[in-house]
Amino acid sequence: MLEEATEAINPNFTLLIAEDGSNSSPTVDELKWKYHNIVYLQNDRRLGRGKALREAWSKVQGEMYLYVDVDLATDLEKFNAYRNLIELGKRFDLVTGSRYIQGSITNRPWLRKAASIAYNGLVSVFFHTGVHDHQCGFKSFSRRLVEQLNVEAKSDSWFWDTEVIVLARKMGFTIKEIPIVWKEKKGGRTPLKRLLQDMWLHGSGLLVLFCRVHFSKLGRNLS
């Protein structure tokens, strides 16, 4: 799906599959026979989203880098989301899908949605990013922003999505949110244990990032 969708917009691209903590080599090998622009990076040891992407992007050179969750929770066609991700990426350093701006349609369990909205409000209070959704896995990055993030971004976990938006804003890069249609792919219920784990991960990540941005040498350099 991504091959066809991308080629219709820009035929000059590489599809990078960064697999973290699992192995789908037989499936990917079949795809590589059909499509010759696939680069496959596989880690048996789980690195975490942030570290896996930093390692992947450091090995592939491009003018623009796109990141899309493998479950394709974001509908690529509705609102021209995927085309906008690419086309607006020519004008902005960071383009990110948003589930919480006007026009977006979000389908997910109410408890998880409420927790996400509260979290994003907290991030806005702490960092004044002007962004409504700091967690969506649907983004494009300019090469110059990726070069900076490969140095400054430290999170190895799901908190990476928040960190890169905060750092991009603090470093003066341009950011654009786009409306999307987004559907939860993890089932209709949110286990309380998983929600608490996510709250701990993102809460501790916010505390560390707040100290980095406001009290460390990094914060002084960004001021």
Q: pLDDT category, 42, cuts 50, 70, 90?
A: confident
How far CA 212 is from CA of 139, 175, 223, in Å, comes to 24, 21, 12
Which residues are CB-contacts of 58 (< 8 A; sequence separation ≥ 6)? 150
Which residues form the catalytic set? 161
Q: What is the pLDDT of residues 89-146, one digit of tens each?
A: 999 999 999 999 999 999 988 888 999 999 999 999 999 999 999 999 999 999 999 9
Question: Among 3.40.50.180, 3.90.550.10, 3.40.50.300, 3.40.50.620, what is the CATH number of 63-222?
Answer: 3.90.550.10
Which residues are CB-contacts of 208 (< 8 A; sequence separation ≥ 6)? none
Mean pLDDT for all residues in the chain: 90
Is pTM beyond 0.85? Reply is yes
Which range (61-65, 76-80, 192-196) has the least confidence?
A: 192-196
Nearest to 119 by CA among 108, 134, 101: 134
